Amino acid sequence: MSDRTVVVLPTYNEKDNLFDTIKRIGASAPHVDILVVDDNSPDGTGQLADRLALANPHVHVLHRAEKAGLGAAYLEGFGWAIHAGYDVIVECDADGSHHPEELHRLLDALDHHDMTVGSRWVIGGSVVDWPRSRELLSRGGSAYARALLRLRQRDVTGGYRAFRTSALIAVGLDNVTSQGYCFQIEMLWRANRAGLRIAEVPITFTERRWGVSKMRGMIVIEAIARVTVWGIRAMFEHSAPAAAASEPSRA
């Protein structure tokens, strides 16, 4: 596709992974730009990103003052990309878990869709080097959110996604409130509510080789609580019109 495309890479202490990730993106999709959104990493990730940007005109860096959550980093990155006039905006982990070699699958699907979800749980998708407990947590989280929020997609928590800029605007980014693990669920839920055409394509997810995962127990608890509240609210929204329609006229 010929659209102006940028891959947004949120980072916090990803110095050991960033160079390889950017190199692989450039080799697989030399036409795309890259935006590193660094949350003031104490390990020097932001400084490394600056050096890579000086050497490569396709790389840009957005420095944030502090670690404020994945959702906040993505939302700031989205705003930068929209203002810069990109047609397509991609979410991608900086730790090598998402394969840049599969980026073409997400972009190709946008020819007939507004948004593409890279999925571990459809035919052809897979995870590598994950403990069984982690896989069960991810599958269970997706199943729970799908049931409560009436989502058709199999993988609702994955973070390898591509959006047309018009789709992100339609989602209403100003209304997105999740900061952590739940951000991906909220974005997909809002995209479905906005009536976007969403494709799901298989990807391979590989556990990071270097660094420490940002997943924590409280992040998961926050996600469960938020999904439960959204699901209950949606049920009331669906029941309210039906109740109003069944009420006898008093005219």
Ranges of the chain whose pLDDT falls below 50: 242-246, 248-251
pLDDT of 180:
76
pTM recorded for the entire structure: 0.88
Please report, for the chain, the start and end positions of each structural domain, with discontinuous segments joined by +: 5-240
Determine the pLDDT at residue 240: 55
pLDDT score recorded for residue 201: 98
Those residues with Cβ within 8 angstroms of residue 184's Cβ, 6 or more apart along the chain or in another chain: 156, 157, 158, 159, 161
Which phi and psi angles does 116 have, rounded to 5°?
Answer: -125, 135
**Strand spans (E) along 64-223:** 88-91, 115-119, 126-128, 161-164, 198-202, 204-206
Quick check: helix, strand or coil at residue 116? strand
pLDDT of residue 246: 47
Domain formed by 5-240, architecture: Alpha-Beta Complex (3.90)
Digit-coded pLDDT (tens) for 62-81: 999 999 899 999 999 999 99
